[in-house]
Amino acid sequence: MESLSFSLVQTSLLWEDKAANLRAIESQLDAVAVLGQVVVLPEMFSTGFSMRPEALAETMEGPTIRWMQDQARQRKIILTGSLMVKEGDAFFNRLLWVLPDGSLGKYDKRHRFAYAGEDQHYAAGNSRVMAAVGGWRIHLQICYDLRFPVWARQQVQHGKPEYDVLLYVANWPERRSHAWKTLLAARAIENQAYVIGVNRTGEDGNGIAHSGDSRVLDPLGNLLWTAESENGIHTETLTKTHLQRVREQFPFWKDGDSFTLHP
């Protein structure tokens, strides 16, 4: 596929109210005539960034995941976003990648935000995850992962970069928006990949404001699109031609250090 389109859902979230958040998101999706091939929701889109998984987490057979599967099937999209998931005795901040046939992939957040106590309530993931769509490779990440460049670092596999798009879903606070914007651009430049960051808006249950600032950057770090605090859905189409041109004209990726990750 020469092109791949992403619809970014920037929205406010009602604190710990799953049913209301799902209704609101569904209404937003209904209002868009044509959605992209991949629709991206923020981190913990059904609850906000809550530290109460004991009360709010679901299993992989839970209603929020069934809702995601229903939406993906009905709208013929790939739907992704993170939520609280219980597995055995552990809780995960898990990004789900739901295909139009209802099948799914998963990525568990590696870097837990200890500043807010996330490490006290959620287990850490131990694997990088790449999703594949029509010849595109998408590296899936969640919020605080953005601060740790090694976890996102492009590696060379079979003589070419291992991924094309680096995708972050987030509940990133307004007070640190400068870091959000700067690090997204840095990840694009250093990995010579498109970068997509989808963040929420509004105030959470702890009184923390979120300014949105969702954005799409090209492999040179150029800003293709951004939104500040307004809610809405934006569709951006990425092209392989531009990605390949950048990598051929500036083949910096060939000079990177090889390394092995030990989570």
Tell me the CB-side half-sphere exposure of residue 111, using CA atoms within 13 A. Answer: 16
Cβ–Cβ under 8 Å, residues 112 and 72: no
Of 18, 106, 109, 118, which is the active-site residue?
Answer: 109
How far apart, in Å, are the Cα atoms of 65 and each of 61, 89, 94, 178, 250?
7, 19, 11, 33, 41
- Residues 18, 106, 118, 143: which is the catalytic one? 143
Q: For this structure, is 2 an active site residue?
A: no
User: CA–CA distance from 69 to each of 30, 224, 227 (Å)?
Assistant: 16, 30, 27
Q: Which of 18, 43, 106, 118 is catalytic?
A: 43
**How far does the chain reach from its first CA to its final CA, in angstroms?**
33
Asked if 113 and 250 count as a contact pair (C-beta separation under 8 A), the reply is no
54 a catalytic residue: no
Catalytic residue flag (residue 58): no
Q: How far apart (Å, rounded) are the C-alpha atoms in residues 213 and 195?
A: 13
Q: Just list the catalytic residues.
A: 43, 109, 143
